[in-house]
Amino acid sequence: MAEYLTYPFKTMGISQDHNGSYSHTKYSEGKPSDYPVDETGADRGSDWMYASVDLKVMKIYGRGIPEKPNTVWLQTTKKVITPIGFHFVCGRVTHMSDGDLKGLKVGHVFRAKSKMFREGTDGNVTGRHLHMTWGTGKFKDSGWIKNNRGAFVLTTTGSNRKLEKLFFMDPNFTTRIRMSQGLKFKKKPTVRTMYVKKRRVKTKVRASYSVSSKVVGRLKSGTKVKVYVTYGNWCCVGDGRWIHKKYLRNIKEI
């Protein structure tokens, strides 16, 4: 079964979101764009960033070169469950120290729940933090491209997304929210069993959470499904499989 992608710090301390006027608008308002945040954790030292699922190292940049900020590209080893469904997820993390990159090689897999990097100051930064940006899809080309505002933004085979569209909050892991900059993360859900509503016609299953998305199947009344996540009025019942919630019931209708 696919795993849920959850926020990778035990304390959330987002000092700047993608709209942060200090340095991030050149990323989020440029073309192309991405949506970075700066994470400072508990701000009492150098907090660890954890792998909430298995993450593969796709590229390492800047290690041992003072004028180039240490940066690591990560990709999930398989599709994971996000607030917008099942996806491969790829990200870029910057400013960890050379020490945290010692011996790290492209192809290494950080196993779920393992420590990866601590907040750092490598590169031209004003305080300890990790700059991170994420998107759906897999690592693409060099992993970044310069936009029309002069910022290097993430490149993936999918699309760059705001963090709250990709990560759930697991209150059993992230036990403290020190700063969030107003970002709202959904709580990690539990898988629910539901049943297709009794109807004269089969219920359409769509590829995404929209009536305009492709029909990928039809289910007869009473069919049991597992609901992994809801997005608006839509329930995700599998990889690329969505049903409008009005056609589902908690109890099988006779």
Q: Residue ranges per domain, the chain?
A: 11-179, 192-249
As a whole number, the mean pLDDT across the chain is 96
- How much is the pLDDT for 124? 79
Q: What is the pLDDT of residue 254?
A: 62
Taking 80 as the threshold, does the pLDDT of residue 21 lie above it?
A: no
Note the pLDDT of residue 208. 98
Output the DSSP codes for 37-79: EEE-TTSSS-PEEE-SS-EEEEEEE-TT-TTS--EEEEEESS-
Start-to-end CA span in the chain (Å):
30
Which residue's structure tokens are 């305009």? 212
Do domains 11-179 and 192-249 share one topology? The answer is: no
Give me the helices (H) in the chain, please: 25-28, 98-101
Q: What digits encode the pLDDT tens for the residues 45-66?
A: 789 999 999 999 999 999 999 8
Size of the chain in residues: 254
Residue 238 has pLDDT above 70, yes or no: yes
Span 192-249: which CATH code?
Answer: 2.30.30.40
Helix and strand tally (H, E) in the chain? 2, 23
Q: 11-179 domain in CATH 2.40.30.10? A: no
pLDDT of residue 42: 93
Judging by beta carbons within 10 Å of its beta carbon (0-12, 13-18, 19+), is residue 105 exposed, middle or buried? Answer: exposed
- The mean pLDDT value for 176-196 works out to 97
Predicted confidence at residue 166, as pLDDT, reads: 98
pLDDT of residue 44: 78
Residue 67: per-residue pLDDT: 86
- Pick 109 or 44 by higher pLDDT: 109
Interval 162-182: pLDDT, tens = 999 999 999 999 999 999 999
* pTM for this prediction: 0.95
pLDDT confidence band for 215 (50 / 70 / 90): very high
Summarize pLDDT for 92-141 with one digit per residue, the tens: 999 999 999 999 999 999 999 999 999 999 997 878 999 999 999 999 99
The residue assigned the tokens 């297709």 is 196
Check: CB of residue 11 under 8 Å from CB of residue 175: yes
